[in-house]
């Protein structure tokens, strides 16, 4: 079935540094969504990207959707301790555009 691959699985970041997590799909996506899950919590919707090449920013978070709509990235600048958690990308494929295929997630820890 359709899958979304996400790397890295773990990201240990020094406070103040930047990092990026990447998602790739073998097939074209209708859209891609990003979620953040804090330890012990549930996924919280961050953003949805729909257009080819789309870039959206939320404060220190920058989300990109590739031109071919097969990949996406989340870049966080000046990491803070509040950024701790697991970031999931989730794509909907054209064939099954109502179902989300989740990436494995990138678990972020921050050292002060």
Partner 1 sequence: GAVVSQHPSRVICKSGTSVKIECRSLDFQATTMFWYRQFPKQSLMLMATSNEGSKATYEQGVEKDKFLINHASLTLSTLTVTSAHPEDSSFYICSAREAQKPQHFGDGTRLSIL
Is 59 strand, coil or helix?
coil
User: What residues have CB less than 8 Å from 31, skipping those under 6 apart?
Assistant: 48, 49, 50, 91, 92
Closest CB to partner 1 among residues 66, 105: 105
Q: What whole-number distance in Å separates Cα of residue 91 and Cα of residue 38?
A: 20
Q: Which of residues 26-45 bind partner 1 (CB under 8 A)?
A: 33, 35, 41-45
Paired tokens of 47: 């953003």
Considering only residues 20, 24, 27, 48, which one is a binding residue for partner 1 as defined by CB under 8 A?
48
In the shown chain, the binding pattern of residues 62 to 91 toward partner 1, with x for contact by CB under 8 A and - for none, equals --------------------------x---
Q: What six digits make up the tokens of 32?
A: 């891609």
Query: By the criterion CB under 8 A, which residues form the site for partner 1?
Result: 1, 33, 35, 41-45, 48, 88, 98-100, 102-105, 107
């Amino acid at each position: 079935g359709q899958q979304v691959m996400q790397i890295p699985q773990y990201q240990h970041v020094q406070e103040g540094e930047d990092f990026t997590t990447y998602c790739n799909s073998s097939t074209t996506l209708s859209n891609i969504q990003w979620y953040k899950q804090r330890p012990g919590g549930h996924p919280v919707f961050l953003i949805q990207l729909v257009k080819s090449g789309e870039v959206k920013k939320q404060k220190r978070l920058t989300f990109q959707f590739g031109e071919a709509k097969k990949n996406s990235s989340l870049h966080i600048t000046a990491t803070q301790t509040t950024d701790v958690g697991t970031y999931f990308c989730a794509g909907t494929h054209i064939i099954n555009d109502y179902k989300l295929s989740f990436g494995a997630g990138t678990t972020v820890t921050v050292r002060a």
